Structure 1
Amino acid sequence: MLIKQLVLRNFRVFNGTHVIDLAPRKRQNDDNSRPIVLFGGLNGAGKTSILSAIRLALYGRLAFGPATQQQEYVEELSALVHNGSTTGERPSEASIELVFTYNKGGHEAEFTVTRSWKKGKKDQLSLQQDGQLLEELDYDQCQGFLNELIPHGIADLFFFDGEKIAELAEDDSGNILRTAVRRLLGLDLISKLRNDLMIFVKRQQSSQLAGSQQQKLAELEEQVKQFAFQTEQILEKADFAKMRIDLLSKEINRYEALLNAQGGAFAQTKAQEKQKVDTLLKEKDRLEKALRHECDSSLPYALAPKTLERLLEQISAEIQIKQADSFEKELTQFLTQLKNDISFRSGTTGKIAAEAIEDNLKDYLAGKPKGELLFDISEREAGMIQQSIEKDSKKAWQRFDLYRHQLAEVEEQLEQAAANIARAPEDDQLFDIFEKLRELDRKRESKRQEYRSLLEEAKQTKQLQLDCARQVQKTHDLARNQHNSDSAFNNAQETINLLDRYSELLTQARVKTLSANFEGAYRKLARKEDLQLNAHINPETFDVELVDENASVINRKLLSAGEKQIYAIAILEALAKTSGRDLPVIIDTPLGRLDSQHRDKLINHYFPFASHQVVLLSTDTEVDERYFVDQLRDDISHAYEIVFNAHTKSSALKPGYFWELTKEAI
Structure 2
Amino acid sequence: MNNLQIFDIELKDYRQYKGTVRIDLKIDGDQHINIIEGQNGAGKSNLLNAITLCFYNEETHLETQEEQGLESDPLVNKRRLDEINEGESASGYVEVTLGKDEPKYIFTREFRTAKREDGDFSDATGDLRLRQKFQQDWRDVPNPHTRLSEILPTRVHEYFLFDGEQLDDFFDKRYTDRVESAILDVSHIELLNRSLDHIDTVRTELERTSTEYEGEAKRKREKYEEAEDKLEDLESREEEYERDIRDANDRLDEIDEKLAGSSDPEVQRKLERRENLNDRLDEKRDDLVEKRAEVAENFAEAGALIYNEDALRFTLEQLEELENQGQLPPKIQDWFLDQLLDRGECICGAELEDDEEKREHLEELRKEVAVITEGNIEGKIEIPHLLSQADDSLNALLQGVGDITGIEDDIEGIERQLRDISKELEGKEIPEDVDVAQLEQQRSEIEERIRQMREEVGQLRGEIEQQEQKVKDRRQAWQEELEKEEKYEVLAKKISFIDDSEEEMQEIRAEILKEVRNETEEYLNQYFNDLIWKDENYDVELTDEYQVKVFGPSGEKKLGSLSAGERQVLALSFMSALSKISGFSAPLVIDTPLGRISSRPKRRIAQNLPDYLQDTQITFLMTDEEYSQEVQAMLKPSIAHEYRLNYEKDVTQVNDR
TM-score with structure 2 setting the length: 0.51
1:88 corresponds in structure 2 to 83
2-structure distance, mates of 1:623, 1:572:
21
Q: Provide closer, same or farther for how the CA distance between residues 143 and 79 of structure 1 changes in structure 2, counting only shifts above 3 A.
A: farther
Tell me if structure 2 keeps the 8 A contact 1:9–1:17.
yes
1:365 corresponds in structure 2 to none
1-structure distance, mates of 2:586, 2:83:
41
1-structure distance, mates of 2:499, 2:24:
52
Q: Provide closer, same or farther for how the CA distance between residues 66 and 198 of structure 1 changes in structure 2, counting only shifts above 3 A.
A: farther
Letter in 2 for 1:117: F
Structure 2 runs not aligned, ≥5 long: 114-122, 219-467, 483-487
Cα deviations across residues 46-86 of structure 1 (Å, max 9, x unaligned)? Answer: 0111111112222224958999xxxx9xx999932322466
1:634 corresponds in structure 2 to 637
2-structure distance, mates of 1:489, 1:180:
34
1:118 corresponds in structure 2 to 112
1:526 aligns with 2:532: yes
Tell me if structure 1 keeps the 8 A contact 2:588–2:619.
yes
1:34 aligns with 2:28: no
1:606 corresponds in structure 2 to 609
- SS of equivalent to 2:637: coil
- SS of equivalent to 1:92: strand
1:19 corresponds in structure 2 to 22
- SS of equivalent to 1:492: helix
1:233 corresponds in structure 2 to none
- SS of equivalent to 1:582: coil
1:10 corresponds in structure 2 to 13
Tell me if structure 1 keeps the 8 A contact 2:533–2:601.
yes
Tell me if structure 2 keeps the 8 A contact 1:525–1:598.
no
2-structure distance, mates of 1:635, 1:209:
70
Give 1:491 shift: 3.8
2:98 corresponds in structure 1 to 100
Q: Residues 202-601 of structure 1 correspond to what in structure 2 (within 5 A)? A: 202-210=204-212, 483-484=488-489, 485=491, 489-528=495-534, 532-539=537-544, 541-554=545-558, 556-601=559-604
Give 1:577 shift: 2.5
Aligned residues: 376
1-structure distance, mates of 2:475, 2:160:
44
1:652 corresponds in structure 2 to 653
2:183 corresponds in structure 1 to 181
Letter in 2 for 1:168: F
1-structure distance, mates of 2:36, 2:506:
46
Tell me if structure 2 keeps the 8 A contact 1:202–1:476.
no
Give 1:101 shift: 1.9
Task: Identify which of 50, 54, 59 aligns with 1:53.
Answer: 50
2-structure distance, mates of 1:203, 1:78:
52
Cα deviations across residues 325-383 of structure 1 (Å, max 9, x unaligned)? Answer: xxxxxxxxxxxxxxxxxxxxxxxxxxxxxxxxxxxxxxxxxxxxxxxxxxxxxxxxxxx
Tell me if structure 2 keeps the 8 A contact 1:10–1:93.
yes
Q: Provide closer, same or farther for how the CA distance between residues 156 and 206 of structure 1 changes in structure 2, counting only shifts above 3 A.
A: same
Q: Provide closer, same or farther for how the CA distance between residues 149 and 583 of structure 1 changes in structure 2, counting only shifts above 3 A.
A: closer
Cα deviations across residues 229-276 of structure 1 (Å, max 9, x unaligned)? Answer: xxxxxxxxxxxxxxxxxxxxxxxxxxxxxxxxxxxxxxxxxxxxxxxx
Letter in 1 for 2:10: V
Tell me if structure 1 keeps the 8 A contact 2:602–2:631.
no
Letter in 1 for 2:526: G
Q: Residues 125-164 of structure 1 correspond to what in structure 2 (within 5 A)? A: 125-130=128-133, 132-134=138-140, 136-137=142-143, 142-164=144-166
Give 1:487 shift: 5.6
Q: Provide closer, same or farther for how the CA distance between residues 497 and 64 of structure 1 changes in structure 2, counting only shifts above 3 A.
A: farther
Cα deviations across residues 488-539 of structure 1 (Å, max 9, x unaligned)? Answer: 6544332221111011112222222222222222222223356x43222222
- SS of equivalent to 2:78: coil
Cα deviations across residues 187-236 of structure 1 (Å, max 9, x unaligned)? Answer: 333212211222233343344134999xxxxxxxxxxxxxxxxxxxxxxx
2-structure distance, mates of 1:44, 1:608:
31
Q: Provide closer, same or farther for how the CA distance between residues 487 and 4 of structure 1 changes in structure 2, counting only shifts above 3 A.
A: farther
Tell me if structure 1 keeps the 8 A contact 2:49–2:59.
no
Tell me if structure 2 keeps the 8 A contact 1:13–1:46.
yes
- SS of equivalent to 1:15: strand
Q: Provide closer, same or farther for how the CA distance between residues 88 and 558 of structure 1 changes in structure 2, counting only shifts above 3 A.
A: same
Q: Provide closer, same or farther for how the CA distance between residues 559 and 154 of structure 1 changes in structure 2, counting only shifts above 3 A.
A: same
Letter in 1 for 2:183: V
2-structure distance, mates of 1:186, 1:100:
23
Letter in 1 for 2:619: V
Q: Provide closer, same or farther for how the CA distance between residues 50 and 478 of structure 1 changes in structure 2, counting only shifts above 3 A.
A: farther
- SS of equivalent to 1:174: helix
2-structure distance, mates of 1:77, 1:206:
53
Q: Provide closer, same or farther for how the CA distance between residues 545 and 612 of structure 1 changes in structure 2, counting only shifts above 3 A.
A: closer
Q: Provide closer, same or farther for how the CA distance between residues 562 and 63 of structure 1 changes in structure 2, counting only shifts above 3 A.
A: closer
1-structure distance, mates of 2:600, 2:124:
49
Letter in 1 for 2:651: S
2-structure distance, mates of 1:192, 1:513:
24
2-structure distance, mates of 1:78, 1:63:
14
RMSD: 3.9
Letter in 2 for 1:3: I
1-structure distance, mates of 2:149, 2:515:
25
1-structure distance, mates of 2:521, 2:132:
38
- SS of equivalent to 2:74: helix
1:311 corresponds in structure 2 to none
2-structure distance, mates of 1:580, 1:12:
33
Q: Provide closer, same or farther for how the CA distance between residues 513 and 121 of structure 1 changes in structure 2, counting only shifts above 3 A.
A: closer
Letter in 1 for 2:539: N
Letter in 1 for 2:631: Y
2-structure distance, mates of 1:619, 1:65:
18
1-structure distance, mates of 2:33, 2:142:
37
Letter in 1 for 2:618: V
2-structure distance, mates of 1:211, 1:89:
74
2-structure distance, mates of 1:476, 1:208:
16
Q: Provide closer, same or farther for how the CA distance between residues 207 and 592 of structure 1 changes in structure 2, counting only shifts above 3 A.
A: same
Structure 1 runs not aligned, ≥5 long: 26-31, 214-469, 658-666
Give 1:43 shift: 1.2
1-structure distance, mates of 2:611, 2:502:
44
2-structure distance, mates of 1:122, 1:132:
24
- SS of equivalent to 1:592: coil
2-structure distance, mates of 1:187, 1:77:
37
Letter in 1 for 2:41: G
- SS of equivalent to 2:31: coil
1-structure distance, mates of 2:627, 2:548:
31
- SS of equivalent to 1:175: helix
- SS of equivalent to 1:193: helix
1:446 corresponds in structure 2 to none
TM-score with structure 1 setting the length: 0.50
